């Protein structure tokens, strides 16, 4: 399938999320998360670093990529302002942008770590020091402020910073790109916001250069002064003393990639940017590589929750089917990067398989990264715990909190897209928007209680009858789907997992859908050894887990009976409208206090019922044992 832009995502300012599920999260984002993260940025010196860089004096505080946390907060704050305007938050935005602008060097360079500590090392350790990564998040924040709030002060800073990079790197100049991808996808966004296609071409050049030999990182390894500041590349990029580059996807040119390797967040950002570059270019070799790597990831290296990157040692991938539960890394940022890549694959193909993964990660592996209070977070997202995991208000390496904040602010954009004569509904959430479709102004409202209930309704208000198409995604998990359309009209066509209703729409027309949501027990590929003899429970887009809080004992001692249907029960004590699932099984009673082993079959068991809860809700009542994958007695008949 040729990559062509099928639609454009609506901007947060263009869509009002009325959904009872996501409204809670967006209210929390605006009231608590945005102020909380800003406070952390102040207390940890991240914003003060810009003040010191402007004054050209003082010490740098924190990790060398801390500037990026400020930029991600600004992007999230832009979305928050678009959906819930606040004079207090706007004042914080204005103040922060002014400090960033004051810190920028006359030639456009901007990186407070280098400016305050190592001004002689500009662009000399691209493999490790994240200069372009920080610039990428600067660009993303600037574009968010310009697109959603019409504020361009930071955009001017970002453009000058990118021009500084382009004065050094590019065709006919020095070959270079960042060890941590992000600038690539940001440059494509900058091209769209400014109308300057050369930024897109610069992104394409960087993507094409990565993996070629000799790598610019090989030369950097010989720079003793640069390595003295951060020699991580000498450990991460070499294998048996020979340059390998897998850690930062520099092992092969991208068109030769067959598997996803290395650091998970970096890989997701690379492929997201490459997908944007590939759209409308007719580069079938690049398209095939992206499709090939995607399939390898979702069929061999993805968690049930949509989490990716199993290993803490490289914050990334190891080998096929290596998906441990207790020691799962599954970084929040990696899940977010994965769903952002999926959204771009969806834009390029219109194929609902990518929307299925966006939904999976959004409701599970990414959303689990933030607590219900909006002020506590997970960095890794394991699928099992023995009580050692807990949510925390901040991290030394704090990439995840502002990243999950900007994700929540973009939920409307992930849910709905449009072209000149087509409305695309990817996620059946409640929303209101006004669009131009088929040459007419159309007001669209959607109602539903997803992910708890399976009814969904779209309603249209028009001044005059107008022909356009409405594409409604059929969730990949749905087995019993029904649609009802006003006046019956033409029957739906079904294309790439979407029900397509093309007709002349009149004022008051509606589409009603039902997804047939039911609990489903699933099993893993037999090569996933951690899940052998175990089963997991899903309902709609949600993955469920069992916590010690609900069982009364560690769930590691519980064996579920999947042949007994799971029963929907309230979980509103945890989240408004939430649905839990009551399951039945057996609790092992032997305490093994007399030794580590016992003859098979000598442990007593008693019947036990327990409520399972959605995975994203776990550990909101304090640390305790948890399992997604449970031992089971027999297969479902």
Catalytic residue numbers, as ranges: 315, 399
CA distance 39 to 158: 24
Q: How many other CB atoms are there within 10 angstroms of residue 250's CB atom?
A: 26
The DSSP bridge partners found for residue 514 are 455, 482
Q: Which of 371, 355, 503 lies closest to 425 in space, CA to CA?
A: 355
Q: How many other CB atoms are there within 10 angstroms of residue 601's CB atom?
A: 5
CA distance 493 to 490: 9
CA distance 581 to 539: 9
Q: Is 483 exposed, middle or buried (0-12, 13-18, 19+ CB in 10 A)?
A: middle
| C-alpha distances in Å from residue 191, one per residue of 155, 180, 410 | 12, 21, 20
Q: Which two tokens stand for residue 353?
A: 């398989």
Cβ atoms of 38 and 394 within 8 Å: the answer is no
Alpha helix ranges (H) inside 494-536: none
Cβ atoms of 138 and 71 within 8 Å: the answer is yes
The DSSP bridge partners found for residue 436 are 441
Indicate the Cα dihedral angle 372, 373, 376, 378, nearest 10°: 10
The DSSP bridge partners found for residue 424 are 417, 471
Contacts of 381 (CB under 8 A, 6+ apart): 305, 307, 328, 330, 331, 332, 335, 365, 368, 369
How would DSSP label each residue in 164-207? Answer: HHHHHBSTTSB----SS--HHHHHHHHHHHH--THHHHHHHHHH
Contacts of 107 (CB under 8 A, 6+ apart): 164, 167
Q: How far from chain centre, in Å, is Cα 230?
A: 28
Identify the three-state secondary structure at position 132.
helix
CA distance 270 to 181: 6
Identify the three-state secondary structure at position 270.
helix
Q: Which of 213, 65, 311, 257 lies closest to 249 in space, CA to CA?
A: 257
Read off φ and ψ for residue 14, nearest 5 degrees. Answer: -95, -5
């Amino acid at each position: 399938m040729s990559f062509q832009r099928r639609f454009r995502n609506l901007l947060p300012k263009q869509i009002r999320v009325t959904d009872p599920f996501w409204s809670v999260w967006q209210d929390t984002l605006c009231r608590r998360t945005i102020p909380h993260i800003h406070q952390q940025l102040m207390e940890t010196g991240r914003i003060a670093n810009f003040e010191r860089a402007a004054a050209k004096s003082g010490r740098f505080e924190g990790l060398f990529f801390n500037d990026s946390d400020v930029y991600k907060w600004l992007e999230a704050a832009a979305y928050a302002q678009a959906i819930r305007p606040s004079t207090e938050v706007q004042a914080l935005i204005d103040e922060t942008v002014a400090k960033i602008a004051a810190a920028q060097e006359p030639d456009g360079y901007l990186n407070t770590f280098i400016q305050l500590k190592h001004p002689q090392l500009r662009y000399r350790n691209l493999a490790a020091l994240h200069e372009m990564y920080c610039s990428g998040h600067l660009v993303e924040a600037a574009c968010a402020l310009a697109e959603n709030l019409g504020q361009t002060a930071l955009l001017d800073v970002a453009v000058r910073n990118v021009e500084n990079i382009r004065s050094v790197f590019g065709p006919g100049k020095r070959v270079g790109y960042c060890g941590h991808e992000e600038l690539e996808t940001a440059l494509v966004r900058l091209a769209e916001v400014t109308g300057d296609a050369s930024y897109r071409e610069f992104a394409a050049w960087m993507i094409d250069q990565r993996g070629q030999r000799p790598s610019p990182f090989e030369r950097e390894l010989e720079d003793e002064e640069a390595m003295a500041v951060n020699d991580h590349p000498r450990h991460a990029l070499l294998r048996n003393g020979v340059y390998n580059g897998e850690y930062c996807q520099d092992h092969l040119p991208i068109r030769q990639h067959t598997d996803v390797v290395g650091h998970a967040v970096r890989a997701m950002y690379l492929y997201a940017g490459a997908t944007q570059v590939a759209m409308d270019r007719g580069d079938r070799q690049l398209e095939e590589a992206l499709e090939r790597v995607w399939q390898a990831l979702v069929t061999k290296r993805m968690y049930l929750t949509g989490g990716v990157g199993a290993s803490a040692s490289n914050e990334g991938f190891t080998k096929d089917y290596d998906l441990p539960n207790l020691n799962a890394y599954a970084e929040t940022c990696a899940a977010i990067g994965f769903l952002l890549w999926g959204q771009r694959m969806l834009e390029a193909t219109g194929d609902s398989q990518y929307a299925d993964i966006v939904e999976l990660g959004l409701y599970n592996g990414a959303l689990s990264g933030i607590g219900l209070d909006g002020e506590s977070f997970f960095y890794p997202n394991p699928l099992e715990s023995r009580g050692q995991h807990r949510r925390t208000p901040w991290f030394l390496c704090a990439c995840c909190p502002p990243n999950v904040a900007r994700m929540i602010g973009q939920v409307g954009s992930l849910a709905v897209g449009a072209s000149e004569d087509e409305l695309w509904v990817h996620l059946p959430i409640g929303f209101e928007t006004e669009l131009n479709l088929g040459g007419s102004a159309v007001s669209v409202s959607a109602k539903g209680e997803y992910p708890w209930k399976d009814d969904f309704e779209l309603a249209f208000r028009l001044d005059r009858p107008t022909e356009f198409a409405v594409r409604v995604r059929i969730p990949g998990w749905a087995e019993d789907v029904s649609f009802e359309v006003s006046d019956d009209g033409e029957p739906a066509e079904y294309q790439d997992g979407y029900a397509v209703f093309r007709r002349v729409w009149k004022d008051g027309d509606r589409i009603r859908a039902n997804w047939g949501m039911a609990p489903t027990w699933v099993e893993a590929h037999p090569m996933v050894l951690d899940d052998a003899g175990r089963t997991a429970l899903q309902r709609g887009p949600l993955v469920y887990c069992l916590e010690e809080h609900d069982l009364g004992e560690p769930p590691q001692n519980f064996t579920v009976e999947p042949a007994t249907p799971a029963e929907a029960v309230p979980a509103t004590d945890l989240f408004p409208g939430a649905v839990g699932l009551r399951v039945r099984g057996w609790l092992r009673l032997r305490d093994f206090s007399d030794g580590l082993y016992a003859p098979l079959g000598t442990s007593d068991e008693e019947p036990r019922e327990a409520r399972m809860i959605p995975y994203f809700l776990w550990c909101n009542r304090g640390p305790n044992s948890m399992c997604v994958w449970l031992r089971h007695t027999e297969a479902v008949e």
